[in-house]
Chains A and B, each alone.
Chain A
Amino acid sequence: MSWDLAHVSLIGAVLVAVPLLYAALGELITERVGVMNIGIEGVMSVGAAAGFIAAVKSHDPAVGLLVGTAVGGLFTLVFFALPVLVFRTSEILVGFAVWFIGLGASAQFGQSYAQEPLKAEIPTLKIPLLGAIPGIGDILFAQPWPYYAAVLMAVAVWFLLTHTAHGLNLRGVGDDPAASYGSGVPVLRWQLVYVSLGGALMGLGGAVVSVVLTQHWQSGLIAGRGWIALALVIFVGWRPLGLLWATYLFGILLTLEHVGQAEDWAIPAPILAMPPYLATVAILIVRGRRGHRLAPAALGTSFLRGGR
């Protein structure tokens, strides 16, 4: 493989990683307040459809991304957060339901837009000076703005969780909701807000797929990326900054599958498709018990369902 091909492939891998980064950040926020939303795939699908429809109708991809974000949040609030946190249902079962509802709803509402092209696209934004750094400038500093926003979002979430009192309280909700409740934190309200915000980021991730990556809508567009995002959160031990390298690593591994085929490497295509998933299993094994210790202590438990 030539350096030129490696270089342009690394540029492409960054963009492939962006929807994963948004979705995984959404799940990380959700899990940090003690709730696991396994319906990411469904939320991303709804965000992808809503974002694409809005982008087509407004002729503005930025509007599409905003609508995808808003619809992702609203969808999560109505179909996941309220049933789980207010109606006290199983978050695993409702998560599965959200997955299917998201697929069905996005297919239904998006189908008439399958033959609609986007009239405008988000241009590449090259950061002055940084974009001119040889080797990495084009890769890290010459991308569409949703990439920069995703990186800033990861930094913002990290800062919030680790450097603010509010973040400390948030982590407290995920680790020991009883203690948080006892110290006056409005646990249910915070969970509702942050689970919905998490859904908004998942919706944004879906909208990035349809509006930025493919510029085309069809059902099944998310094609498992929601599940990858779910695994990535565990993969990085619930650390927002870890998602930056992890999603990019996955972007590279996903791109490598195509590069290997196009360059006629002597590795069968199905084998080339395996590294992202092998990497997940390998790192989870390496993490072992330590990984469990990194998880929010009360993740998946239902303190408020009986104790409120």
Chain B
Amino acid sequence: MRKGNKMTRTARSSLWLLALLVGTAMTLSACGGGGSADGGAKKVKLGVLLLGNGADDYLNLGFRVAANKAADEVGRDKVDLKFVSGVGYNPQATALTEQLFRQGTQVVVDNLSLQQLFYDACAKYPDRICQEEYTLGKVPENTSGFWWKFWQGYYLEGVAAGMLSKTGVIGYLASFKQNYENAHMNALALGCQSVNPDCKVKSVIINNWYDAAKSTSAAETLVNSGADVLAQFVDDTSSVVVARKMSTPSRPVWGFGLHLTQAKFGGDSYVTSMLTAAATQKEITLGLRAALKGEKPPKGPRVYGIGQGMSLGEWGPKVPKEVQDRVAGIEQEIADGKNVFVGPIYDSKGKLRVPEGESLTDKYMYASWDWRVRGVTGG
């Protein structure tokens, strides 16, 4: 009996302490959310779902910048902005989205492409506005998608890389094995081959958005394997940090950033970053304006390219003027509507995939590019 009482007391003590510890963890995690909370009767409530911690990687930072600027654009006093971090690819994301709707949120932005998990919640609240990065398949009536024409940006990076590289080998850090990653590395190779026909792209898949230690190791391996320019589609700074670390006067290594400028990480090895926040701002502004008018935004998906809110950022201090000018010229041509993805384009096995006179469409490159062009190897 006494033993039983003792166990009960111990168990109670354990539970109390555990609750305290877990509560502390949840509180600390939730603190990262941020955003204003001064609710006004006429305000539009905007909720932005952010992948993972949501505060410290470059895609999420870009969304924070974009949402705040969008709120400023339509009038800060008209928007009640809330960031929700810690969102993952699981059914809790659906419950979380529904919770936002129940709290009166009119516009919910999903930055992790939750797809069906997001659509399930949106379909239950047809009077609200759902905006999702990278939609696929059938979406509810109130849901519109958006994306960036990364292939245009990587083509430009490829041109710069081709001019900067001495080895003719470009390293690429891919997040996951997806068709959109094929589009990125293919565009990188095609841009590079427009300068140096023998240019090669070596790719390593990280299988994560956030594993800076792994992507750092992968970037080092790529440099050891012959690459002297690093590009990436992961949410960290490994490409520019490793370029700086491994660069020597006799063998310079260059690195590209993504989403926001990463100049201060790359030093003299920094080339530039592909900036996406202005396009995100456009999209969120569209949703906010529609909500303020009690309407729906035009049906998507909208894919923002060069000249439409996506651009290359500032140049690194050591990038030659000749490179900057040439890339700026092509950037302007793309902004004016030129399609640089024209045949002949061969795949990695030498088969002609796009004959001369034909070109690849944005729709194809958005999700369907399931082969790799000549010169692209790796994971």
Query: Interface residues, chain A, CB within 8 Å of chain B?
Result: 4-5, 8-9, 12, 16, 19, 79, 83, 87-90, 93-94, 97-98, 100-101, 103-105, 107-108, 110-111, 114-115, 117, 121, 209, 213-223, 225, 254-255, 258-264, 268-270, 272-273, 305-306
Contact = CB atoms under 8 A, between A and B. Distances in A.
A270 B206 CA distance: 10
Contact of B55 (A107, A215, A216): A107
B204 A97 contact: no
B213 A94 contact: no
Contacts of A218: 53, 56-57, 210, 212, 235-236
A5 B224 contact: yes
Contact of B14 (A90, A216, A270): A90
Interface stretch (B23-31, B115-123, B156-164): B23-31
Interface centre among A89, A101, A216 (most CB of B within 10 A): A216
B207 A214 contact: no
A219 B53 contact: yes
B204 A83 contact: no
19 contacts: A9-B224, A12-B217, A16-B217, A87-B13, A101-B25, A104-B25, A107-B32, A111-B55, A215-B241, A218-B57, A219-B52, A219-B56, A221-B211, A221-B213, A264-B378, A268-B379, A269-B207, A270-B207, A273-B207
B61 interface: yes
A209 B52 CA distance: 19
Interface in B198-244: 202-205, 207-208, 210-214, 216-218, 220-222, 224-225, 227, 235-238, 241
A4 B221 CA distance: 12
B377 A264 contact: yes
A117 B18 contact: no
A216 B53 contact: no
B175 to A, nearest CB: 12
A9 B221 CA distance: 7
A263 B204 CA distance: 9
Interface string B45-84: 0000000110111000100000000000000000000000
B136 to A, nearest CB: 22
A99 to B, nearest CB: 9
Interface centre among B29, B31, B214, B224 (most CB of A within 10 A): B224
B21 A209 contact: no
B21 A98 contact: yes
Nearest to B221: A258
B153 interface: no
A219 B363 CA distance: 34
Contacts of B216: 213-214, 216
B17 A83 contact: yes
Given A262-B222, A305-B10, A101 B21 contact: yes
Given A223-B208, A261-B202, A262-B222, 20 more contacts: A5-B225, A83-B21, A103-B29, A104-B25, A107-B28, A111-B32, A214-B213, A214-B216, A216-B237, A219-B52, A219-B57, A220-B210, A221-B212, A223-B213, A223-B214, A258-B218, A258-B222, A261-B378, A262-B204, A262-B378
A293 B377 CA distance: 48
B244 to A, nearest CB: 9
Contacts of A8: 224
B24 to A, nearest CB: 6
Contacts of A264: 202, 377-378
